[in-house]
């Protein structure tokens, strides 16, 4: 807001008053005429010059207005009103001029602060511009300046909270949200943000209270609805999650994608699961049609004249210490640089030592979390990629819309999502014969399935898992002891479906007996479950009640909360004798971790990729005894666990250091041959000169 109040003693009071009245009535042309009369007599009349500049600006003569006020400033730099109006004109002009590079706009805003450091709007705008270019620390300093000028500025508090959250300063973000909610308890954005942070910390019930309040305040808050649905899913309430997603999926592609992800936890008919993905793909192409028309023709098909090396792009939010990176680095750290140039696009604002390792192996690394859809698409096109990998599909921090539009002649879904993407714009998905058998799987994929001649995954364990004496398999004796056999599952509780709990109940009954029938088992069992969601007592209690509803003796169950470090998490495997896999969504990283820690895994394979990943990992170890742990029906699963519990010699032979060595020496961990297989596969997709 520009100012036109009185400045000092005025020898033209009646004319100035008349001009002010005109400005108040928005009669700027008339006000200009009056101010020009005053300035004709007194060229240095500050108030008339100031008002004239404001009127010129309002009439669209912005360059003239700014030039006039800068002229006045040259002989009266002490006037706060002149300085304030110069700063505000520069701010507004910067915002309204389109097409300027962001760096130039930032310089102009910083220049305006030379005239008025207390313009809150300028600090807010500058903070948002820094955010757009990924300089979140600079952005945060701007919002802190806003709050220094006005500690109760609601927008300043909200942006400071969001920015702190974006750079994972969680405690600071929570403090800003709490300050904001104390001033404005019904601020929907603050309630959502506060809820999401508490969800991240595992405080599900606090998060749920905030999100429910946000929905009460703003029933149309898709962000709150999405976050609340995800909490339901992560607490194992998959049906409630899907029901809430269903109500709003047509209004938000993100909500629809989260519904697709959650459906993988349900044992619904595979044709129904496939159809849901296809419907999303059709809707996505319709939603993005203008951009498809705008950009798709810019992607040239590959030909025998395609330049070498082949340019590979990988889009992921998991290019740090993460489950996906344990499998991705088997290729990224070993590919032939003469054959490929690798471009990595990081969609999440996290970098660590693993990221630095990846950076050393790529031609180009770009943090793209601040880029909008078109900005990122233009970047992808400018890199002239031959093959582009999507490592997220319908999971968090995905950029699948860019794949729907198409940014490369060949697009591949890989690693991050255990199902079809649903869009025909993604050409291929990398699988193997066990995860996706040729006799049926191709009919349930919109992509062409590329089957590696081995396990489609290759696990590269973290160095500390290989080198630390404290996280090696524990050779726990079984023979001659009367202790329980410890069954365990460390998958997230979303995967612990009704089918899974029913199988576990049958195992517990067969080994421990129940009030209706005694057990003939030589050993009794205890079930140990671990999940980040067990950090919350309310969630633990709800899950215990759910186990009891399936007839599981809760006195034979132990729930372990989230461990502070990956090392401590892995040490929990040292007390497990047999790992129980989940169905219909099996483990992946947890299966590899169990095998690395010398714990045999019993799994139930099914009719979809998500049910068969553990089966592929286990069978590709190449051990016939271990392969028997891959079961094809529920009774087989229950009987196999019962057999291992009661055959101490077999279990002892199968677990511990022997299993760890067999796993490490198998093709599942043979990164060199995996990189060769992947390289051959990718090279075959590009026409040879």
Asked if 2 and 65 touch (Cβ cutoff 8 Å), the reply is: no
Considering the chain, tell me which residue range(s) the CATH 3.40.50.2000 domain(s) occupy.
Answer: 468-669
Mean pLDDT of 590-610: 96
Spatial distance between the Cα atoms of 622 and 281, rounded to a whole number of angstroms: 38
Spatial distance between the Cα atoms of 228 and 203, rounded to a whole number of angstroms: 13
CATH of range 291-451; options 1.10.3720.10, 3.30.9.10, 3.40.50.11380, 3.90.420.10: 3.40.50.11380
pLDDT number for residue 256: 94
pLDDT number for residue 4: 55
Cβ contacts of 354-357, under 8 Å, gap ≥ 24: 354/319, 354/320, 354/321, 354/322, 354/325, 354/329, 355/319, 355/320, 357/329, 357/333
3-class DSSP state of 366: strand
Return the CATH number of the domain spanning residue range 13-233.
Answer: 1.25.40.10
Spatial distance between the Cα atoms of 341 and 363, rounded to a whole number of angstroms: 6
Give me 16's structure tokens: 């100035």
Asked if 29 and 19 touch (Cβ cutoff 8 Å), the reply is: no
Going by C-alpha positions, the residue among 615, 275, 592 that lies closest to residue 432 is 615
- What pLDDT digit, counting tens, does each position of 665-685 carry? 999 999 999 999 999 999 999
Asked if 422 and 444 touch (Cβ cutoff 8 Å), the reply is: no
pLDDT number for residue 23: 83
pLDDT band at 541 (very low <50, low <70, confident <90, very high): very high
Asked which of 296-300, 389-393, 613-617 is least confident by mean pLDDT, the reply is 296-300
Helix 270-287 with 253-263: angle, nearest 10 deg: 160
* CATH architecture, range 468-669: 3-Layer(aba) Sandwich (3.40)
- What pLDDT digit, counting tens, does each position of 144-197 carry? 999 999 999 999 999 999 999 988 899 999 999 999 999 999 999 999 999 999
Dihedral sign from CA coordinates of 417, 206, 255, 388: negative
Output the DSSP codes for 457-488. ------HHHHH-GGGSPP----TT--PPEEEE
Asked if 203 and 167 touch (Cβ cutoff 8 Å), the reply is: no
Going by C-alpha positions, the residue among 442, 439, 435, 443 that lies closest to residue 417 is 435
- Looking up tokens 């109760």 gives 152
pLDDT band at 544 (very low <50, low <70, confident <90, very high): very high
pLDDT band at 98 (very low <50, low <70, confident <90, very high): low
pLDDT band at 2 (very low <50, low <70, confident <90, very high): low
274-298 exposure pattern, b = at least 16 Cβ within 10 A, e = fewer:
bebbbebbeebeeebeebbeebeee
Spatial distance between the Cα atoms of 368 and 134, rounded to a whole number of angstroms: 8
Residue 516 has pLDDT above 70, yes or no: no
- What pLDDT digit, counting tens, does each position of 356-393 carry? 999 999 999 999 988 999 999 999 999 999 999 999 99
Give me 283's structure tokens: 């809707």
Burial of 392 (0-12, 13-18, 19+ CB in 10 A): buried
pLDDT number for residue 564: 77
Going by C-alpha positions, the residue among 430, 478, 436, 437 that lies closest to residue 456 is 430
Average pLDDT of the chain is 90
pLDDT number for residue 195: 94
Mean pLDDT of 301-329: 89
Inter-CA distances, 604 with 87, 146, 357, 592, 634, Å: 68, 57, 36, 16, 7
pLDDT band at 12 (very low <50, low <70, confident <90, very high): low
Spatial distance between the Cα atoms of 532 and 109, rounded to a whole number of angstroms: 45
3-class DSSP state of 608: coil
- Looking up tokens 């703003």 gives 218
pLDDT number for residue 459: 95
Q: What is the pTM of this model?
A: 0.82
Residue 631 has pLDDT above 90, yes or no: yes
Spatial neighbors of 279 by CB under 8 A, at least 6 apart, are 422
pLDDT number for residue 428: 98
- Looking up tokens 């016939």 gives 624
Considering the chain, tell me which residue range(s) the CATH 1.25.40.10 domain(s) occupy.
Answer: 13-233
Considering the chain, tell me which residue range(s) the CATH 3.40.50.11380 domain(s) occupy.
Answer: 291-451
pLDDT number for residue 3: 54
């Amino acid at each position: 807001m520009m100012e036109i109040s009185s400045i000092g003693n005025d020898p033209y009071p009646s004319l100035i008053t008349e001009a002010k009245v005109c400005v108040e009535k928005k009669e700027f042309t008339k006000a200009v005429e009056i101010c020009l009369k005053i300035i004709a007599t007194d060229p240095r009349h500050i108030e008339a010059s100031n008002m004239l500049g404001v009127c010129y600006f309002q009439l669209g003569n912005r360059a003239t207005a700014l030039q006039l006020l800068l002229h006045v400033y040259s002989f009266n730099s002490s006037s706060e009103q002149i300085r304030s109006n110069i700063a505000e004109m520069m701010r507004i002009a910067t915002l309204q001029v389109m097409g300027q590079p962001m760096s130039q706009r930032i310089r102009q805003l910083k220049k305006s602060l030379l005239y008025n450091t207390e313009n809150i709007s300028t600090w807010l705008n500058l903070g948002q511009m820094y955010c757009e270019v990924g300089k979140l620390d600079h952005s945060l300093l701007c919002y802190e300046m806003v709050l220094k000028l006005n500690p109760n500025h609601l927008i300043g508090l909200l942006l400071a909270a969001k920015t702190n959250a974006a750079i994972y300063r969680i405690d600071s973000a929570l403090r800003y949200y709490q300050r904001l909610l104390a001033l404005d308890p019904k601020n929907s954005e603050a309630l959502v943000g506060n809820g999401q942070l508490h969800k991240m910390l595992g405080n599900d019930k606090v998060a749920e209270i905030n999100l429910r309040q946000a929905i009460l305040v703003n029933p149309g808050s898709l962000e709150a609805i999405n976050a609340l649905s995800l909490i339901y899913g992560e607490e194992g309430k998959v049906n409630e999650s899907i029901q809430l997603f269903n109500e709003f999926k047509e209004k938000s592609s993100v909500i629809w994608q989260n519904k697709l992800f959650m459906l993988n936890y349900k044992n619904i008919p595979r044709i129904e699961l496939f159809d849901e993905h296809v419907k999303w793909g059709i809707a996505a192409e319709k939603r993005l049609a203008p951009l498809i028309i705008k950009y798709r023709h810019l992607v040239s098909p590959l030909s025998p004249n395609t330049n070498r090396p082949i340019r590979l792009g990988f889009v992921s939010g998991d290019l740090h210490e993460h489950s996906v990176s344990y499998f991705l680095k088997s290729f990224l750290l070993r590919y032939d640089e003469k054959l490929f140039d690798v471009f990595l696009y990081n969609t999440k604002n996290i970098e660590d030592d693993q990221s630095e390792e990846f950076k050393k192996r790529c031609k180009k690394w770009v943090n793209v979390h601040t880029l909008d859809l078109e900005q990122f698409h233009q970047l992808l096109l400018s890199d002239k990629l031959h093959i582009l990998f999507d490592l997220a599909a319908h999971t968090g921090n995905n950029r699948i819309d860019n794949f729907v539009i198409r940014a490369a002649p060949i697009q591949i879904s890989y690693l991050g999502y255990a199902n079809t993407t649903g869009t025909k714009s993604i050409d291929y998905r990398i699988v193997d014969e066990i995860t996706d058998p040729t006799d049926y799987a191709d009919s349930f994929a919109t992509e062409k399935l590329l089957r590696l001649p081995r396990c489609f995954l290759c696990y590269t364990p973290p160095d500390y898992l290989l080198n630390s004496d404290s996280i090696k398999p524990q050779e726990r004796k079984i023979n001659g002891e009367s202790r329980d056999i410890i069954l365990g599952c460390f998958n997230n509780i979303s995967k612990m479906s009704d089918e899974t709990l029913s199988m576990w109940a049958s195992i517990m009954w067969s080994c421990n007996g129940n009030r209706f029938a005694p057990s003939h088992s030589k050993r009794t069992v205890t079930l140990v479950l671990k999940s980040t969601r067990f950090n919350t007592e309310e969630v633990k209690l709800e899950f215990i009640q759910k186990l009891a509803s399936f007839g599981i003796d809760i006195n034979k169950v132990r729930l372990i909360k989230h461990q502070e470090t990956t090392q401590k998490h892995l040490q929990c495997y040292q007390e497990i004798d047999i790992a129980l896999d989940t169905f219909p969504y099996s483990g992946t990283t947890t299966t590899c971790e169990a095998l690395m820690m010398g714990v045999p895994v019993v799994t139930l394979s099914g009719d979809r990729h998500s049910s068969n990943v553990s089966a592929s990992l286990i069978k590709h170890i190449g051990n016939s005894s271990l392969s028997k742990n891959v079961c094809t029906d529920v009774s087989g699963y229950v009987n196999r666990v019962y057999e291992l519990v009661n055959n101490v010699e077999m279990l002892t032979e199968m677990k511990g250091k022997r299993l760890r060595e067999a796993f490490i020496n198998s093709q599942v961990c043979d990164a060199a041959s995996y990189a060769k297989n992947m390289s051959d596969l990718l090279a075959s997709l590009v026409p040879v000169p």
